[in-house]
Amino acid sequence: MKQQFFATAALGLEPLLLTELEGLGAVDVKQERAGVRFSGGLETAYRACLWSRLASRILLPLANFAAADPDQLYAAVSEIDWSVHLTIDQTLAVDCTLIHSTMTHTRYGALKVKDAVVDQFRSRIGERPSVAVEQPDLRLNLHIIKDQATLSLDLSGDSLHRRGYRIDGVHAPLKENLAAAILIRAGWPAICAAGGGLADPLCGSGTLPVEAGLMATDTAPGLLRRYYGFLSWQQHDEELWNNLVKEALQRQAVGVDKKLAPIVGYDSDSRAVKAGWQHAQNAGLDKIIHFERRTLREFIAPAGVDYGLLVANPPYGERLGEASELPEFYNILGQKMAQQCRGWKAAVITSSSQLGRSIGLRAGKINVLYNGALKCQLLQFDLNETNRWQSLEEGAGKAVKKILSAGGEMFANRLRKNLKKLKKWAAKKQIDCYRLYDADLPEYAVAVDIYGDEVHLQEYRAPKEIDEHKAAERLREVQDAVPLVLDISPDKIHLKVRQQQKGKQQYEKQSRRGILKEVQEGNCRFLVNLTDYLDTGLFLDHRPTRKLIQKLADGTRFLNLFAYTGTATVHALMGGASATTTVDMSKTYLAWAEKNIALNHFDPKDEGLIHADCLAWLDTATEQYDLIFLDPPTFSNSKGMDATFDVQRDHVELLQKTVRLLAPGGTLIFSNNLRKFRMDHAAMSELIIEDITAKTIPLDFERHPRIHNCWLIRRS
């Protein structure tokens, strides 16, 4: 019987997955965002679970229905006859994702599904199945988008990238399905079929060589797994599954007996090499793959191999310490590629196009892949006579130099002066992001913000009396000078026009790329977006305020109002907050906050993330908090609010409502960005209000200290 299925995948893998599923016998195949929809019989789904090298999960949709509220969700799930899927002696788990849903908590959505299932058993039999988070007998997947729900059976049960051969990796290894995608994009199946070998000079714990070995030996990637979501499903066809496994074992037996060209992996870390050997042995490939401890400078191609693929996942910045060391490292990689692998193909994945250029070879093809939320480039090279390696001294990875005008040189000199002062300070503070320049020269009215190896360039709207042609000329001079001084490529500069915003304008998208970049702020990591919005997701001037929150947070119940992307919440968690509540009206920013929390190794499910109009939420909130951060907009007339908000006009009422939630001895940190703001002390005589603005202006904003206002507020 033909059924519909959905295979999930990481962004960027969808077209490859579509081709793979067609090869596995799927029909009616349709690519969608983060996955592929397809049809087939149960054999097709089982085969996808066993053989897909790219999919994350294989889902069997059970029902589609409206779910505008928890009661409607519960009622719809209750209509399904669950006795045909599991018994009372089995265990259950539910995963939930919400996109543009009136329900805001994934955990609550999952709980309602679980309740509907177990309540049905209890009402019919008097007993109920149990819940098991790890390897349940039945795993359900609830996906709600715009209040329309799809409830599916997760046939994979666990992410298919977990092949079963890997122990705890050394460093941060690639996921197996991303490694497989790199190899497929680079043409490894065809190279292997033609008798070519493979070399990974930076193999880590060996994921790329092992995945290459699985492909070379025609080994099903899921053959080692002992757990699938369908194995205890009441409609599982055990005979069908056993026949597929038997077929896969026969194909593997033929594959491992084939004469193959060498597959080798080198790494300078002996622990990584040891892990690589263990992984190869677990996968039955220890006679197929060779691992060896060897530095990059010691790399040589396997002897007697005239054709093959060099594949590498070099460090993005953390493995070798200072990012300043990496251009030379990448350049050495390029030199080894050119000298040792002449006539080969090569593929290198990196999140930095600048580091990619430091390889010193011309990439004939560039593919976009995503390593988690990070956008990466897969650079593919033909290592032939015409692709000559270029050393850094010859200009590889350098910005193209331009002759600056007199004005451009003046601007460049100011950048150099600021950089000399701020670069060492930022490194000492472990800060990736800081303001390098802020209209220091009146005729060059721009802000230059550093975000790691990229620049967020904001042009302030010129006054009407300034000739627009002159303003455009000065902007061009800025755009010429910035890459020259910072030694970066012009494509790493993201230009915005900053002008007075009204209402929600500052939160509206400028473009729709959706690319997140990971940055560091002290002991915290954040994701920023340099392309889509006027603001990036990280208010740089609030850095000391966030540090203060971390200092005060130990053991506190923390509330973050108008939370934006939750960066203050992360600092509170890092400071030891016992509980956090994060409130914002934007689902987009709450989802962003969730990512920031998870990035810092906290579980977002343990934190209170509330989608609500903060002003309305304050009217009904009753819980007490020891530390509150209140950073409202200057003005707002969002469609989600009943009325407009003006921070000068409404701050007294706002503060009085917020102080009501302060526990005895608690502290409120109140901040805003209205330069002409005046605190109405007389209307709040019952409060102790301490102006700490001067203490919260960081070094990179001292030239314009009126960037924000900040107070500590306590009850008298």
pTM over 0.85: no
CATH 3.30.750.80-classified regions of the chain? 406-499
Residue 641 has pLDDT above 70, yes or no: no
Predicted confidence (pLDDT) per residue in 5-32, tens digit: 999 999 889 999 999 999 999 999 999 9
Predicted confidence (pLDDT) per residue in 549-608, tens digit: 999 999 999 999 999 999 999 999 999 999 999 999 999 999 999 999 999 999 999 999
The per-residue pLDDT for 512 is: 41
Predicted confidence (pLDDT) per residue in 492-501, tens digit: 888 887 544 4
CATH 3.30.750.80 given to domain 406-499:
yes
Indicate the pairing of strand 709-715 with strand 662-672. Answer: antiparallel
The per-residue pLDDT for 507 is: 38
The per-residue pLDDT for 372 is: 81
User: If DSSP codes are grouped into helix, strand and coil, which group holds residue 272?
Assistant: helix
Predicted confidence (pLDDT) per residue in 393-411, tens digit: 665 555 445 578 889 999 9
**Assigned CATH topology for domain 3-154:** VC0802-like (3.30.2130)
- Average predicted confidence (pLDDT) for the chain: 90
CATH 3.30.2130.30-classified regions of the chain? 3-154
Percentage of residues in the chain with pLDDT exceeding 70? 93
**If we measure between CA atoms, which residue out of 715, 716, 696 comes closest to residue 707?**
696
CATH 3.40.50.150-classified regions of the chain? 176-222+258-394, 517-715
Residue 337 has pLDDT above 60, yes or no: yes
Segments of 41-187 assigned E as strands: 57-66, 91-99, 130-131, 138-145, 148-154
- Class at the top of the CATH hierarchy for domain 176-222+258-394: alpha beta
Rounded CA-CA distance 362/377 in Å is 14
The per-residue pLDDT for 462 is: 67
Cα separations (Å) of 172 from 29, 281, 527?
Answer: 33, 20, 18
**Within 10 Å of residue 307's Cβ, how many Cβ atoms?**
14
Q: Which CATH architecture has domain 517-715?
A: 3-Layer(aba) Sandwich (3.40)
Predicted confidence (pLDDT) per residue in 448-471, tens digit: 999 998 999 998 876 666 677 788
Rounded CA-CA distance 592/566 in Å is 8
The terminus-to-terminus CA distance of the chain in angstroms comes to 73
Helices 270-282 and 207-216: crossing angle in degrees, nearest 10, is 30
**If we measure between CA atoms, which residue out of 10, 49, 47, 4 comes closest to residue 25?**
47
Helices 238-256 and 42-51: crossing angle in degrees, nearest 10, is 40
